[in-house]
């Protein structure tokens, strides 16, 4: 009987760890795909270099991606007081951020990947979990 209670408790602890581990894994992915501060100085096309170095060109080219050039603290603050609700669990920044958007040239998503870039100030729209950004809503460009 004691084992049943212990087994149930162990199951609950493992389930919580797995769930929180899933959320925690999304923040590093968000940073890898969308954070670049200060903006990297690359010798070749910024977008081509960044998309490749951040592993978004294999096995297919990611068609669209935005890099935010500001501090992690300011980006994360959009999940709190520096953001406003924007439908479907999204948050919109109260101020504009400097961003670079990389868009695939042509219609093929097969490598080699060639990108064009657009750098501009823009409000960002993100999804947050546990107070951290986990998704950049590209559709709000």
Catalytic residue among 63, 135, 138, 140: 135
Give a yes or no: residue 127 inside a domain. Answer: yes
Measure CA 116 to chain center.
20
Residue 60 predicted with pLDDT over 50: yes
pLDDT tens string 14-50: 344 344 444 458 999 999 999 999 999 998 899 999 9
Say which DSSP state 140 is in: G
Count of domains forming the chain: 1
pLDDT tens string 74-96: 999 999 999 999 999 999 999 99
Catalytic residue among 27, 30, 33, 34: 34
Give a yes or no: residue 34 inside a domain. Answer: yes
Q: What is the pLDDT of residue 17?
A: 39
Structure tokens at 79: 């999940």
Domain span at residue 66?
Answer: 26-136
CATH number of the domain within which 130 lies: 3.10.130.10
34 is catalytic: yes
Q: What is the pLDDT of residue 4?
A: 59
What is the percentage of the chain residues whose pLDDT exceeds 90? 77
Parallel/antiparallel/unpaired status of strands 90-93 and 83-85: antiparallel
Give a yes or no: residue 67 inside a domain. Answer: yes
69 is catalytic: no
Distance CA 25, CA 7 (A): 26
Give a yes or no: residue 118 inside a domain. Answer: yes
Strand-pair partners of 35:
68
Please give the average per-residue pLDDT across 48-63, as a whole number. 97
Flag the least confident range among 60-64, 125-129, 135-139. 135-139
Give a yes or no: residue 9 inside a domain. Answer: no
Q: What is the pLDDT of residue 141?
A: 56
Give a yes or no: residue 49 inside a domain. Answer: yes
Give a yes or no: residue 61 inside a domain. Answer: yes
Give a yes or no: residue 15 inside a domain. Answer: no
pTM above 0.85, yes or no: no
Residue 5 predicted with pLDDT over 90: no
């Amino acid at each position: 009987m004691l084992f049943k209670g212990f087994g149930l408790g162990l199951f609950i602890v493992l389930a919580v760890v797995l769930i929180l581990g899933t959320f925690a894994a999304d923040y590093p992915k968000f940073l890898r795909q969308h954070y670049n501060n200060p903006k990297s100085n690359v010798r070749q096309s910024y977008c081509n270099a960044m998309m490749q170095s951040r592993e978004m060109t294999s096995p297919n080219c990611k068609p669209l991606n935005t890099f935010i050039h500001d501090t992690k603290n300011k980006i994360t603050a959009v999940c709190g007081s520096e953001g406003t609700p924007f439908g479907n669990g999204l948050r919109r920044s109260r101020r504009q951020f400097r961003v670079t958007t990389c868009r695939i040239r042509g219609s093929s998503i097969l490598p080699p990947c060639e990108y064009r870039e657009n750098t501009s100030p823009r409000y960002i729209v993100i999804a947050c979990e546990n107070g951290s950004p986990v998704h950049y809503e590209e559709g709000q460009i």
